[in-house]
Structure 1
Amino acid sequence: MLSINNLSYFIGGRALYENAALHIKPKDKIGLVGLNGTGKSTLLKIINGDIQPSSGEVQKAKDCTIGFLNQDLLSYQSEDSILDVALEAFKETLQLEQEIENILHQMETDHSDEIINKLARLQDQFEANEGYTIKAKAEEVLEGIGFNTKDLGRPLKTFSGGWRMRVMLAKLLLEKPSLLMLDEPTNHLDLPSIQWVENYLKNYEGAVVVVSHDQDFLDNCVDITVEVSNGSLTSYSGNYSFYQEEKKERMEIQQNAYENQQQMIKQTERFIERFRAKATKSNQVQSRIKALDRLDRVNEVVDDNISVNFKFKFSQKSGRDVVVLDHVSKAYGDLVILKDTTARIERGDKIALIGANGKGKSTLLRIVDGTEPIKGKREQGHNVIKSFYAQHQLEALNVDNEILQEMVQAGSKKTETELRNVLGCFLFTNEDVFKKIKVLSGGEKSRVALAKTMISEANFLLLDEPTNHLDIQSVNILIQAMEQYEGTFITVSHDRHFIRGVANKIWYIEENKIKEYPGNYDEFVYWKSQQVASLTDTKQDSKPKQDTRKKELSITEVNEAKKNLKKKEHELALIEEKILQIETKKAELEKKMADPVVFSDIKKMEEVNQSYQKLKNQESELNQNWETLVEEIGSLQEAASLA
């Protein structure tokens, strides 16, 4: 479907890609992974035609269409409602609908066969394009990725950048291009929406290439992993977990080959050095020198994984109770977030606050922080030193500072060596620490802000979506850091891999109450699934057992059943007669609708349509009554048979 051959792309003198190759087949689900700066987003832009490669080519089939979700779409605004923006995915069908509307206006004065035939053709095409269902499809996708039904009529421009990005994702999913390219699609989605998109992509008919830092997302929706590294593209035939294991094995094989080759080189060099001066060995020496020159050298393995090797320190431990919320309520007008709820955070708690957007997670985080007005009581424990990380922390960075300078000014009293060590764990090494904040990407600024949070010597951290804009390596580093942290923290996150790695308690908001599960994320998911299964079993068990009920029927009840049976059978016969009458009337109206005289008269056609719709509604109601009666008669027949 699409082939990349001998691709090279240079930025200045640096080769981002050099003779890279990739083949994308129909229905491939590809995860594009690699360190920040290796060129993942650049590759998507080259495929889309936004950037021209230095050399090489991208070949695609004539019928291949491409849909590209990238962060540039955050700036897109429109006066149209989000439903209308999503419906733009069906341009051809919407044009047909407009043409049909125009012809219907023309037919008020023009009744020619030509225009009637044109209308019929357009209507057939509109129906073939499933034009009557496009609105329902758009609503389903928008609601699947987190929008409320009441929001669908709001103008796009009234939503934040993250929500606008969701609309653009919905539009792309509805367009169903041959190749769907998604650059960090989970950045702006909550957990339920991520799971919905995962299921959608699993069943997507076309090919998908996705760049994501969410390891669970990659595991659940890709079957090929392509690593971008050292200017090349290396494919692994499995999801992200498979890629990790397979890469580890390949690295071991490469390292063994490197060590064996190095041993052979050293032996050869010793032979050359020892016998270089002996005339009798000169041919052998020259032969081995030439062999070394021709040798295809195996590169030593460079491990991309970085370990956090510093301890987080704070001057004093907090008391046992860190924060206590007592009968807390919070509402914004008619929107109730919390109602008379109680919760406690104790020293050593590692809490992940999860759930759908709009449930009040960030509000609850501010309540815990003490910066959100509430009804009820919030008590902070003894010796609690807080540090709050949120995306707005990025705006608080001094853009004129260098990274190291920003860390020094954070006031932690750490030495430059200690600060460099911390920054190294957040992927800022060597001369990187002298970069100005203003030249950093969003992900790099996030890492600086996180590093500042970690050196604050706080014994209680509040982290709002800390993994947003971090690559996979940075997320893993943050997990290591949080595992070593001896204080208390609460974090809002939709990254399941991160939550799984750091949390020992799960909080969620349900029925305006703070609910707590005292275990890790996997245990919580299992517990939730058991709850759902138990609820289903309870509903099934609550249904009366037919055999037991029969045994308990008295003779009086059996006689009553026989009496009711005759009554219901009479009612059923009347309904069947009415349905037959309606079917006859519908057939007569269908003949009228096919009559050119009626068809060309807009007023008559509307009257016939209204009558026909009224009959359909009556028929639908009668059919429902008929089904109910049939079920009742079946039950009565069983009861009557016990006489």
Structure 2
Amino acid sequence: MSKIEIKNLTFGYDSQGTLLFEQANLNFDTSWKLGLIGRNGRGKTTLLNILQGKLSYSGKIEHQLDFLYFPQPIKDKKQLTYYVLQEISDFEQWEVERELNLLNVDPDILWREFETLSGGEQTKVLLALLFIDDQYFPLIDEPTNHLDIEGRKQVAEYLKKKRQGFIVVSHDRSFVDEVVDHVLSIEKSQLELYQGNFSVYEEQKKIKDEFEFAQNEKIKKEVTRLRKTAAEKAEWSRSREQDKYGKSTEKGSGAIYDTGFIGAKAAKTMKRSKTIENRMDIQLAEKESLLKDIEYVDPLTMNYQPSHHKRVLTVEKLTLGYQDKELFQPISFTLNQGERIALIGPNGSGKSSIIRLLLGQFDGKSTGTIIRPENVTISYVRQNYEDNQGTLTEFSEAQGLNHQEFLNNLHKLGMEREVFQNRIEQMSMGQRKKVELAKSLAVPAELYIWDEPLNYLDVFNQEQLEQLILSVKPTMLIVEHDQAFLKKIATQLISLENHETV
């Protein structure tokens, strides 16, 4: 057991002109299972790179264990998996086989070419390499992106049983909830450490935000009252000061103004006014110290065009396959207007193949019946969108989008306006995913088909999508592995069962 200490960490990219971290301090134990969370672009991967010494920074980081990063770079994917792993780290064969067994992976996978493994299999073999030697502290960046629901459960169970600590970055709330015992949140102005899992963090964050909102309202009212009192005192003082230089007697009354008394009282009142102003300054300073880490998330818009057809899609006894191999047992379902059906099942079971069939892009064989009205307009979010390119203006024109609506949703999804000038192919994967999603939201459509829409999106984006879908109630067919998301938005789950194992 050892400590990792971060002292006065300051870092920013020259191109951005702002600091991601400023005089940040953190102290945590290497036995902790630490979930690293924060909005996209807030610096999660950057912090992992700083820990590895890949970036220059100001401050000091003290640690006894070396860091080991996931996913590890692969030089040659055509090699057998065993030799791919050997190039990354030294190990005995029995050690990696032990970890693969714990991950419910057949060790024979080591003797297959790495590039032939599924995304989930590649994830698991690279994770196994992290825990062979407890002399390293693992930094696990987005392990769930290529895992199906069952794979996520297996990896979560594997990580839970490890005595060794680690840092994990994942946008799957259920996964983080399962595996971590501490949460490190990269907030707008600071690094904030919470003891407990993601649910504990959410509850504590909510309480903190509500307290700050309440304090903010209280201070606003107090400042308003003080401003009014100060203005009244100042006005009285000015009017009394003028009286000193007015008539010294009132005609017929014999009264004589005591200018000394008036001057003293006016000065006293002015002094009280200054005191009130000082109190206001203190209150305003307190107010400015609040709400710095509140995340303001604007609601998204969706160009949903409800169909005049009650039944948008009917699938009867459908199965797909290649040559003599069928992907799944026959399925049947009906998608009515306003319903949201989620296709679930292990990777490779045929979920994306069904989508390609509906879009006329499936090159295998199919049996069964698909019925849908003619000319139903579809908006599609793809898993692979590397062909999106050009400036945002060029892209929206090519796609026939409402440019302002497209940009507004991009900004609401958290894309900074300075990024708007970048070409899409130069953006990060998270930013490029937002382009694909904002495109879909801007397309006028009766049916939305989304294939793993949550990859690379942060928790706040996920909640935005949940709120949008529950508000608009569009007709949707979705493939997604995030159980928390599906539990909230899906009206029906259709499970694809592998034909060979049933």
Q: TM-score range by the shorter chain?
A: 0.7 to 0.9
Instruction: Confirm or deny that 1:280 pairs with 2:268.
Output: yes
Q: Is the 8 A contact 2:40 2:414 kept in 1?
A: no
Cα displacement (A) at 1:335: 3.9
Deviation at residue 40 of structure 1 after TM alignment: 1.2
**How many residues are matched?**
462
> Are positions 1:380 and 2:381 aligned together?
no
| Alpha-carbon spacing, 1:86–1:492, altered in 2? closer, same or farther (3 Å) | same
> Given that residues 24 and 191 in structure 2 are in contact (C-alpha distance below 8 angstroms), is that contact kept between their aligned partners in structure 1?
yes
Give the alignment of 1:184-199 within 5 angstroms.
Answer: 184-199=142-157
> What is the CA deviation profile of residues 591-630 of structure 1, one whole-angstrom value per residue up to 9, with x for unaligned ones?
xxxxxxxxxxxxxxxxxxxxxxxxxxxxxxxxxxxxxxxx
**Cα gap change, 1:466 to 1:513, in 2 (>3 Å):** farther
* 2:127 alignment partner AA: L
Q: Does 2:68 match 1:67?
A: yes
**How far does residue 19 in structure 1 lie from its aligned partner after superposition?**
1.4
Letter in 2 for 1:193: G
What do residues 72-91 of structure 1 show as CA deviations (whole Å, max 9, x unaligned)? x3554355422344467873
Query: Structure 1 residues 342, 253: CA separation in 2 closer, same or farther (over 3 Å shift)?
Result: closer
- Deviation, structure 1 residue 18: 0.9
Q: Deviations over 1:36-93 (max 9, x none)?
A: 111111111111222232x2211113xx2322214xx3554355422344467873x6
The equivalent of 1:344 in structure 2 is 333
Are 2:137 and 1:134 equivalent residues in the alignment? no
Instruction: Read off the aligned partner of 1:16 and give its amino acid letter.
Output: L
Counterparts of 1:319 and 1:275, CA distance in 2: 69
2:478 is the alignment partner of 1:491: yes
State the partner residue of 1:371.
361
Determine what percentage of the aligned residue pairs are the same residue: 25
The residue type paired with residue 220 of structure 2 is: Q
The 8 Å contact of residues 86 and 174 in structure 1, kept in 2 or not, is answered as no
Structure 1 residue corresponding to 2:202, chosen from 244, 247, 251: 244
2:302 and 2:85 map into 1 onto residues whose CA distance is 49
Q: 1:344-363 residue pairs with structure 2 within 5 A? A: 344-348=333-337, 349-363=339-353
Q: Which has the higher helix share?
A: 1
1:15 alignment partner, SS class: coil
The corresponding residue for 2:286 is: 297
1:493 CA drift (Å): 1.2
Match of 1:539 in 2: none
Q: CA contact under 8 A between 2:145 and 2:455: conserved in structure 1?
A: yes
Pick aligned residue for 2:381 from 389, 392, 397: 389
> Given the alignment of the two structures, is residue 481 of structure 1 paired with residue 480 of structure 2, yes or no?
no
**Residue of 197, 202, 209 corresponding to 2:160:** 202
**Superposed displacement of residue 3, structure 1:** 0.9
Superposition deviation, residue 272 in structure 1: 3.8
Shift of 1:214: 0.6
**Counterpart for residue 313 of structure 1:** 304
Q: Is the aligned partner of 1:37 residue 2:41?
A: yes
Q: Distance in 1 between matches of 2:34 and 2:111?
A: 35
TM-score, normalized by length of structure 1? Answer: 0.65
Structure-2 separation of matches of 1:135 and 1:245: 39
Q: Which residue in 2 is equivalent to 1:223? A: 181
The farther-off stretch of 476-485 and 308-317 is 308-317
TM-score for both structures, normalised by structure 2: 0.82
1:323-338 to 2 correspondences below 5 Å: 323-326=314-317, 328-333=318-323, 335-338=325-328
Residues 1:346 and 1:177: Cα distance change in structure 2 (over 3 Å): same
Distance 1:507 1:388 in 2: 19
AA matched with 1:410: Q
Q: Structure 1 residue 173 and structure 2 residue 131: aligned?
A: yes
**2:436 equivalent to 1:449:** yes
After TM superposition, give the deviation of residue 378 of structure 1 in Å.
Answer: 3.4
CA RMSD of superposed structures (Å)? 3.1
Deviations 1:155-213 (A, max 9, x none): 22445777544432221133344522111111122221211111121121122211111
Q: Report the 3-state secondary structure (helix = DSSP H, G, I; strand = E; otherwise coil) of the residue aligned with 1:453.
A: helix
Counterpart for residue 254 of structure 2: none
DSSP-derived class of the 2:308 partner: coil
